[in-house]
Chains A and B, each alone.
Chain A
Amino acid sequence: DTAVSQTPKYLVTQMGNDKSIKCEQNLGHDTMYWYKQDSKKFLKIMFSYNNKELIINETVPNRFSPKSPDKAHLNLHINSLELGDSAVYFCASSQDGPTGELFFGEGSRLTVL
């Protein structure tokens, strides 16, 4: 019974393409996040949504557009993919009220060729 699930787990695509990663959580949490983990394992927050509203947007290129149709889903769409977008993207969720205790999905490894 996966708490935070992401699809797809692996994505290989060409430069210039547009791709999406989907995330769903069944924990009843109000806040969801996207993190990017680069090749050196460094984790950086990209976006945070609380109850479908954007609350954190960390200087991410506007080629990245998150969408939250409801509080259980947070999708990430990426336009015009670049080589530097290759990374593992982690979705996470947390209870309402900021604490920092996050539950992470298994990650989506994006490879841009």
Chain B
Amino acid sequence: AQSVSQHNHHVILSEAASLELGCNYSYGGTVNLFWYVQYPGQHLQLLLKYFSGDPLVKGIKGFEAEFIKSKFSFNLRKPSVQWSDTAEYFCAVFDYKLSFGAGTTVTVRA
């Protein structure tokens, strides 16, 4: 079964700092990769996705992620965070079902 691990449980940073969240998955075959975001008290929303092609994908709100096949990784980045980026971030992998990592809580201090 597919497993997804997110390296950071809780990240605290100041506005304008850069953010990188690590994600690794276990399956070596073809997978679709995602980052979902859950703002406080809200439902999950798609941040970005990778199916194939350019391994550097851009999502909403200035986020991007890089797929590195040899490392089974799909790390999320944002060069300069804002207070409104405070949220729970979930990496997810789809083979026949969507499996989520445990999530990373990101707190951005003004």
Interface residues of A (CB under 8 A from B): 4, 33, 40-45, 48, 56, 58, 90, 92, 98-107
Contact = CB atoms under 8 A, between A and B. Distances in A.
Q: Is the interface of B mostly helix, strand, loop or mixed?
A: strand
B90 to A, nearest CB: 7
B92 A106 contact: no
A4 to B, nearest CB: 8
B13 to A, nearest CB: 19
Contacts, number: 53
Given A40-B102, A42-B102, A99-B51, A106 B94 contact: no
B43 A98 contact: no
Contacts of B44: 43, 90, 92, 102, 104
A98 B32 CA distance: 10
A98 B98 CA distance: 9
7 interchain residue pairs of minimum CB distance: A100-B94, A43-B100, A104-B44, A104-B43, A100-B98, A106-B43, A100-B32
Nearest to A88: B43
B43 A45 contact: no
B99 interface: yes
